[in-house]
Structure 1
Amino acid sequence: MFYGLGLRKNEWDYFVHYIGSSESSDEWVGLDRLMKYTEKNIVKQQALDKKQGVKTKSGCSTQTQPEVLNDAKGKKKVGDSSMEEDEGCHGQNMIDFISQMPNDIPVKILSPLPLKTAVMTGILSKRWRFVWPYLKRLDFDDRKALNEIDETLCATQQQAKYINKVNSVIRSHLNPTLLTFEIGFDLDKTYKNDIDSWLQFAFDKEVEFLALNLRGKLQNIHDTKENYDLPLPLSDGSMVRLSEWPSSSSMVVKTLSLVKLVLLCVNVSELVLTELLKNSPRLEKLSIFGFGLTDVDLGGGDINLKDLKLMYCSELESISLHDFDLETFVYLGRDIDIRLTNL
């Protein structure tokens, strides 16, 4: 049985993996689920260890080193001479305990934590320094912090700090795939090279959920012309925009693994939207809160969309959706021509 720790609402949670059981049995439990440190429970733990053939390293005896027993406050029992005499052995066991965890367990423990917290767990042991680069969920959504950012820093400094943070994590990331990649900060087309590289990184990692929220503070919403223009990833590893697209193009758009895509304050053209859907066979959920769209015409058996949201697209004039299995459609905005056929 292996354990991890997590802090929730100022209370410690414990991540438990049962040796010999499948990953579906893994769970987070509260302190109330742990055995208290009592003589009776020590005997019970020793009996379980003996039955399961548990052995400790460095000559440490299971009689003085119960692996999971804590008192009600999660501390060693005060006045227990056997524990004090074997203090060095206990420390060694803790190191062994961390080093013996299966490779996927530390990653599971860190997955629900904020990225900053996950990186900080590197102080636990040398092994944990190299766990967070294997996370499959990278959330860089700092929108909630926008209103709390030091006002003495100008917008450019704030943006540069955010970009450096994202780039630093990306350079260190080692997992070949991603489940989630979220960007959330006040950025515009000035930073298109950095944003392009982030998207290319996510697409190369076969990301399934991508969120790109580039909206500024409520009192500082970008002019449409300043918004970032969504490019298309090509199979040769480059990115292309509508303005760069040749009239007789032989370029091949990269096939994407997207399942869910959310775009806010991003300019999206009809051509890019059509090509994106055509080359994202698994894409089921699409939400666009942005600009660039004027006449949306989507249909055909190659579209797998189940959920489509088009909200506050101020330049939108008409929407035509037809001949695919759409389950949910939401439109918010001014009165326009909407046609739904054979859905």
Structure 2
Amino acid sequence: MVNPAAQRLAVRVETWPIAGLFTISRGAKTEARVVVAELSAGALHGRGECVPYARYGESPESVVAALEAMAGKVAEGLTREDLQHEMAPGAARNALDCAFWDLAAKQAGRPAYELAGLPPPHPLTTAFTISLGTPEVMAAAARNASARPLLKIKLGADGDPDRIAAVRAAVPEAELIVDANEGWRPDNLAANLAACAAAGVTLVEQPLPADADDALRTLDRAVPVCADESAHDCASLAALIGKYDAVNIKLDKTGGLTEALAMAAEAQRLGLMTMAGCMVATSLSMAPAMLVAQTARFVDLDGPLLLARDRAEGLVYEGSLVHPPAASFWG
């Protein structure tokens, strides 16, 4: 006899159009392709979403294959705790881990934050991303977003001092953080950081390639530097000490909420500031990240704001203020 409450896993790829063009140092795109994992047990369903990232050798096809390979173990009773050892950190594990959290919350009739031993989440101010472009185009985009208190400026190409100066002139009151996406080099690092300091930038994210960031150890810098591509999970944190002041925690890198919460606690123990970051994705990706963001110094969960449309009943954004998800949506 089949157990009606046995776990079942369904996986699908979805495409969500981006509003305009999203450009960083590695290229541009007009749509976000996400992979959704849905766990079912009886009449209850839990969902998780991830964004495969070519930077880490991931594709929608490879992530779907990795998840579908877990279907048998899921049906045999795989737990969220088992999952941490069965799959490596990355996008695929993230989708399934978050689906486990969502399903567990629905099965328990209690919110995910409570299951995680956390206080109730509250609304947070998220950064809003300004894509890489000419100084004039970026200044215009920043001016259009001038009502937002925190802007994340994408840099990582020749001429960045002119870009950040133009943005600052366009939005003299906004707090600015910069993301170079590994686009700077040791020979222009000091000049670019000096330009950021002159513009009153609060934080610079991943200025150098992850395999060439030792130059940060001897750099006397006026702006704190945050690791993104150089940091993935708890095991990667120790190598950041002496090079970085902060770490960007993204669930697609950590492999889910479980590791992300542990990573945030360990980063703070090591004296690193934390940022809760995201890929361009829907509210289903942002919802679990809201729990990590509660203790973060910087919140960058603007993915749905960059889309032409979001999921029905997704997170509520009031300007740059993002509210926690409704329990019926996730967790």
Scaled by the length of structure 2, the TM-score of the pair is 0.26
Scaled by the length of structure 1, the TM-score of the pair is 0.26
The structure, 1 or 2, with the larger RCO (C-alpha pairs under 8 Å, 6+ apart) is 2
